[in-house]
């Protein structure tokens, strides 16, 4: 599989409009949405902040990778870097404990500026990355991510070096402290649903369909008169917006941003999240993020239970990732799809319903 | 060469003058006026504390020469690692992101073996054999099963490198290990490069670590041997044919899988040897697998994926960027190699010596 021929390769369904598909969603989806809304009534603060909040925030960053990888066939490792960049910008333009650098702009100026600059950064990264294809893209974006990490680690003029910025707080809108667990939960949920919906919408728009055409056969699309490079760069720009929003949420959850926010480990973690969840549909990254956060929080307990030191957390993550990649072509989504296909098949004829051939 | 001079006379002259100036910088004793010019004028143009420090560092020939030699010897290490990486990519289109793990693993094995036997030289074959064996396992168990699936190979090797990194952390802990070179190699040796002239007229020659020079020579010999093997022998011919058209080569009856395994083993073994070299030059510690993987990625991206001369050229550029950057712009030294990479990508996306 060249990267351009993505395994999931699922082209977004055409025919039905976007909104009808939302209103006519099956009852199970509506039930799931109701559960998501009611979770704060039952869950404790730890779950709201460390589990669900992180799942949504990490999921949004991984969603930007899913969009690029799943619909555009470009696996970029710079998405966490763009997220971290947005976090840095919000700390520099807004308020933080590092008063000699932070400019203290109001939130309505600060947040758009941060997202705007992150999009510019992401677009430049994309413009460099699209000069190459497939595996080169991974290596070049990895190198850009590493460069940014090393740079912010060394630079004390703008990025405050190793220690980064503390007390980077979300604005107190509508008199609510958005770092309070329930508020943070709803804020991340809102943005996760928004990002999910926007990605779904864009994937069915003419631009999204053209992008999927570029993924599957760039030469044919070029012959049809589409500007392949422009579509790819535009995909990077769009993914940067999503990554930047995810980055802001991540930074607000810890109230700090430092080089560690986008270290090589975290850059790889975002890839792991997207791949483990599945890259063919935008729900994948959120599934991956949920699994990752659960593992991160409870692997120590589980490891102690089998008699291993809690430091072996990475081993668990690595082995789990390896198992998923080796056995499934599309992460958890792929396993789910193949299980459904198998259970739907008629045991006598071996045919799936609706399979006319 | 002659055609180039005929077609671009001005550029040829500029390159010639630059080369002559560089040779003068290396071999001549810098006159006082030249040192003053660097210290006062260049420092003054830049201004500030940084300018003063920069001018002072710039005016000392010893700083320049050591950085130059450090860069060239670091390039030898980069070349060892990147050559295996680029060879494997060129022939099999396999992207082995576990290459850095092979480097670190080879280093640790070499350390253990050298400690056990007491002979530094024995660390090299041990690291080569063990890393090569690990490489064969990777090739047979992973890459052969997913031929042509770039993305899956990349993901699987990322997974393997995470697992290997943690297993190595488990076995060897977070300490720094240094492989000690024998005493006859660890003493600095006086080179023929003059670093300064005393007021008495006596010329001071630069002393430099002999181990690094020996390894530089060894890497050059190895590089030339690889080039000769690839371009002048039958096996090399098979490998080059495989790079150009794998299917056609296997159709002529060559057991291509055997060639693949051998090349993979050789490339992995080179990474292991690189580990011993790195452990002797500097030290071995967790996290260096990613660091050297990144460096070798940049080296092959700059030089051109799949090209051995490209790996050599890229290693030289990146090695010099690292050490010259560290000598003159300590704060931002790490960023220079990335800037070089971006510049190369912007103008030659396939690398300096890569084929389109």
Contact yes or no for B297 and A135 at CB 8 A: no
> B210-245, pLDDT tens digit by residue?
888 888 888 899 888 888 888 888 888 888 888 777
B147 vs A: CB within 8 A: no
Q: What is the DSSP letter of B245?
A: -
- What is the rounded average pLDDT for all residues in chain A? 81
What is the phi/psi pair of residue B305, to 5°?
Answer: -65, 130
Residue B121 domain-assigned (yes or no) = yes
Place of tokens 């890459």: B143
Reduced to 3 states (helix: H, G, I; strand: E, B; else coil), residue A354 is coil
Residue B272 domain-assigned (yes or no) = yes
Examine the pLDDT at A218 and tell me if it is beyond 70.
yes
Residue B270 domain-assigned (yes or no) = yes
Q: What pLDDT is attached to residue B47?
A: 67
Examine the pLDDT at A4 and tell me if it is beyond 60.
no
DSSP codes, A233-292: HHHHHHHHHHHHHHHHHHHHHHT-B-GGGG-HHHHHHHHHHHHHH-SSSTTHHHHHHHHH
Examine the pLDDT at A258 and tell me if it is beyond 70.
yes
Query: Are A229 and A72 contacting, i.e. CB atoms less than 8 angstroms apart?
Result: no
pLDDT confidence band for B259 (50 / 70 / 90): confident
> A116-164, pLDDT tens digit by residue?
999 999 999 888 888 777 677 888 888 888 888 888 888 777 788 777 7
DSSP codes, A13-35: P-SS-HHHHHHT--HHHHHHHHH
Give me the interface pTM, i.e. the ipTM. Answer: 0.79
How many helices (H) and strands (E) would you count in chain A?
Answer: 16, 0
What is the phi/psi pair of residue B197, to 5°?
Answer: -125, 125
Closest CB to B152 among A1, A271, A321: A1
Q: Please give the Cα distance from B127 to B61 (Å, whole number).
A: 38
Looking at the DSSP bridge assignments, the partners of residue B196 are: B204
Contacts of A135 in chain B (CB under 8 A): 95, 150-151, 154
Examine the pLDDT at A216 and tell me if it is beyond 90.
no
Question: Measuring CA to CA, which residue among B35, B138, B41, B147 is closest to residue B84?
Answer: B138
Token pair for B310: 């490209």
The three-state (H, E, C) secondary structure of chain B, written as one string: CHHHHHHCHHHHHHHHHHHHHHHHHHHCCCCHHHHHHHHHHHHHHHCHHHHHHHHHHHCCHHHHHHHHHHHHHHHHHHHHHHHHHHHHHHHHCCCCCCHHHHHHHHHHHHHHHHHHHCCHHHHHHHHHHHHHHHHHHHHHHHHHHHCCCHHHHHHHHHHHHHHHHHHHHHHHCCCCECCCCCHHHHCEEEEEEEEEECCCCCEEEEEEEHHHHHHHHHHHHHHHHHHHHHHHCHHHHHHHHHHHCHHHHHHCCCCHHHHHHHHHHHHHHHHHHHHHHHHHHCCECCCHHHHHHHHHHHHHHHHCCCCHHHHHHHHHHHHHHHHHHHHHCHHHHHHHHHHHHHHHHHHCCCCCCCCC
> A231-253, pLDDT tens digit by residue?
999 999 999 999 999 998 888 88
Contact yes or no for A139 and B297 at CB 8 A: yes
Contact yes or no for A322 and B160 at CB 8 A: yes
Q: Please give the Cα distance from A248 to A255 (Å, whole number).
A: 10
Among A11-15, A346-350, B241-245, name the most confident range: B241-245
Q: What pLDDT is attached to residue A354?
A: 58
Examine the pLDDT at B129 and tell me if it is beyond 90.
yes
Contact yes or no for A135 and B167 at CB 8 A: no
Best of B85, B159, B301 to disrupt the A interface (most A CBs within 10 Å) is B159
Contact yes or no for A151 and B335 at CB 8 A: yes
Contact yes or no for B167 and A315 at CB 8 A: yes
Closest CA of chain B from A300, distance in Å:
15
Contacts of A329 in chain B (CB under 8 A): 152
Residue B313 domain-assigned (yes or no) = no
- What is the rounded average pLDDT for all residues in chain B? 83
Question: Measuring CA to CA, which residue among A173, A148, A238 is closest to residue A199?
Answer: A238
Task: Mention every residue, 6+ apart, whose C-beta is less than 8 A from residue B172.
Answer: B108, B284, B286
Of the listed ranges A68-77, A141-150, A330-339, the least confidently predicted one is A330-339
Q: What pLDDT is attached to residue B43?
A: 67
User: For residue B175, what are the CA distances in angstroms to B71, B113, B309?
Assistant: 26, 18, 36
B308-328 and B210-232 helices, crossing angle to 10°: 160
Contacts of B98 in chain A (CB under 8 A): none
Token pair for A276: 């483990």
What is the phi/psi pair of residue B192, to 5°?
Answer: -90, 10
Examine the pLDDT at B55 and tell me if it is beyond 80.
no
Q: What is the model's pTM?
A: 0.83
Examine the pLDDT at A267 and tell me if it is beyond 70.
yes
Section A163-188 average pLDDT: 76
A303 vs B: CB within 8 A: no
Of the listed ranges A252-256, A282-286, B108-112, B184-188, the least confidently predicted one is B184-188
Closest CB to A314 among B166, B332, B342: B166
Section B305-313 average pLDDT: 86
Cα-trace Rg, chain A: 21
Residue B58 domain-assigned (yes or no) = no
Residue B240 domain-assigned (yes or no) = yes
Q: What pLDDT is attached to residue B103?
A: 92
User: For residue B240, what are the CA distances in angstroms to A216, B90, B260, B307?
Assistant: 31, 9, 12, 11
> B267-298, pLDDT tens digit by residue?
999 999 999 988 888 888 888 888 888 888 88
Q: Give the A:B interface size as CB pairs under 8 Å.
A: 106
Q: What pLDDT is attached to residue B1?
A: 65
Tell me which residue range forms the domain holding B114.
67-285
Residue B219 domain-assigned (yes or no) = yes
Residue B248 domain-assigned (yes or no) = yes
Number of domains, chain B: 1
Interface of B with A in 300-329 (CB under 8 A): 301, 305
A98 vs B: CB within 8 A: no
Q: What pLDDT is attached to residue B346?
A: 75
Interface of A with B in 210-249 (CB under 8 A): none
Examine the pLDDT at A12 and tell me if it is beyond 70.
no
């Amino acid at each position: 599989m060249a990267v351009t021929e993505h395994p999931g390769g699922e082209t977004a369904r055409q025919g039905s409009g976007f909104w009808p598909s939302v209103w006519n969603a099956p009852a199970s989806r509506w039930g799931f949405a109701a559960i998501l809304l009611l979770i704060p009534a039952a869950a404790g603060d730890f779950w709201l902040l460390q589990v669900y909040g992180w799942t949504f925030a990490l999921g949004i960053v991984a969603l930007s990778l899913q969009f690029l990888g799943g619909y555009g066939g470009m696996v970029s490792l710079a998405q966490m870097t763009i997220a971290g960049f947005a976090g840095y910008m919000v700390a520099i333009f807004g308020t933080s404990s590092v008063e000699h650098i932070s400019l203290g702009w109001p939130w309505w100026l600060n947040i758009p500026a941060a997202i705007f600059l992150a999009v510019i950064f992401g677009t430049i990264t994309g413009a460099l990355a699209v000069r190459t294809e497939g595996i080169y893209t991974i290596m070049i974006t990895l190198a850009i991510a590493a460069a940014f990490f090393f740079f912010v680690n060394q630079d004390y003029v703008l990025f405050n070096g190793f220690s980064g910025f503390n007390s980077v707080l979300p604005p107190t809108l509508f008199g609510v402290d958005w770092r309070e667990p329930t508020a943070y939960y709803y804020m991340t949920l809102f943005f996760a649903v928004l990002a999910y919906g926007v990605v779904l919408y864009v994937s069915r728009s003419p631009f999204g369909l053209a992008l999927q055409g570029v993924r599957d056969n760039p030469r044919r699309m070029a012959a049809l008169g589409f500007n392949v490079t422009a579509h790819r760069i535009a995909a990077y720009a769009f993914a940067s917006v999503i990554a930047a929003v995810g980055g802001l949420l991540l930074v607000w959850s810890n109230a700090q941003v430092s080089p560690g926010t986008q270290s090589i480990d975290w850059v790889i973690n975002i890839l792991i999240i997207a791949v483990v969840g599945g890259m063919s549909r935008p729900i994948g990254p959120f599934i991956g993020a949920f699994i990752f956060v659960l593992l991160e929080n409870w692997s120590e307990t589980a490891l102690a239970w089998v008699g291993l030191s809690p430091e072996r957390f990475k081993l668990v993550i690595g082995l789990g990732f390896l198992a998923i990649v080796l056995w499934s072509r599309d992460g958890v989504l792929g396993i789910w799809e193949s299980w459904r296909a198998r259970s739907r098949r008629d045991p006598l004829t071996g045919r799936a319903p609706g399979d006319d051939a | 060469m002659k055609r180039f001079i005929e077609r671009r006379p001005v550029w040829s002259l500029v390159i010639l003058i630059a080369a002559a100036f560089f040779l003068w910088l290396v071999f001549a004793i810098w006159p006082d006026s030249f040192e003053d010019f660097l210290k006062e004028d260049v420092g003054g143009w830049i201004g500030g504390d940084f300018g003063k420090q920069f001018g002072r560092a710039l005016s000392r020939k010893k700083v320049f020469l050591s950085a130059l030699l450090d860069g060239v010897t670091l390039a030898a290490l980069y070349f060892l690692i990147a050559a295996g990486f680029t060879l494997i990519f060129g022939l099999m289109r396999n992207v082995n992101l576990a290459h850095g793990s092979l480097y670190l693993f080879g280093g640790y094995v070499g350390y253990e073996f050298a400690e056990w036997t007491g002979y530094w030289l024995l660390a090299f074959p041990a690291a080569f054999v063990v890393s090569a064996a690990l490489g064969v396992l990777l090739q047979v168990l992973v890459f052969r099963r997913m031929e042509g699936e770039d993305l899956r190979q990349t993901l699987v090797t990322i997974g393997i490198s995470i697992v290997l990194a943690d297993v190595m952390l488990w076995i060897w802990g977070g300490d720094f290990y240094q492989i000690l070179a024998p005493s006859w190699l660890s003493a600095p040796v006086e080179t023929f490069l003059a670093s300064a002239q005393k007021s008495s007229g006596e010329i001071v020659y630069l002393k430099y670590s002999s181990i690094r020079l020996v390894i530089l020579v060894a890497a050059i010999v190895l590089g030339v041997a690889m080039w000769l093997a690839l371009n002048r022998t039958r096996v090399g011919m098979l490998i080059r044919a495989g790079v150009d058209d794998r299917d056609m080569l296997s159709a002529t009856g060559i057991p291509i899988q055997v060639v693949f395994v051998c090349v993979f083993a050789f490339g992995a073994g080179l990474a292991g040897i690189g580990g011993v070299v790195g452990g002797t030059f500097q030290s071995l510690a967790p996290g260096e697998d990613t660091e050297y993987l990144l460096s070798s990625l940049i080296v092959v991206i700059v030089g051109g994926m799949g090209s051995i001369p490209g790996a050599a050229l890229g290693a030289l550029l990146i090695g010099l960027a690292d050490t010259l950057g560290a000598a003159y712009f300590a704060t931002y030294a790490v960023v220079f190699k990335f800037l070089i990479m971006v510049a190369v990508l912007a103008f030659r996306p396939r690398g300096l010596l890569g084929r389109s």
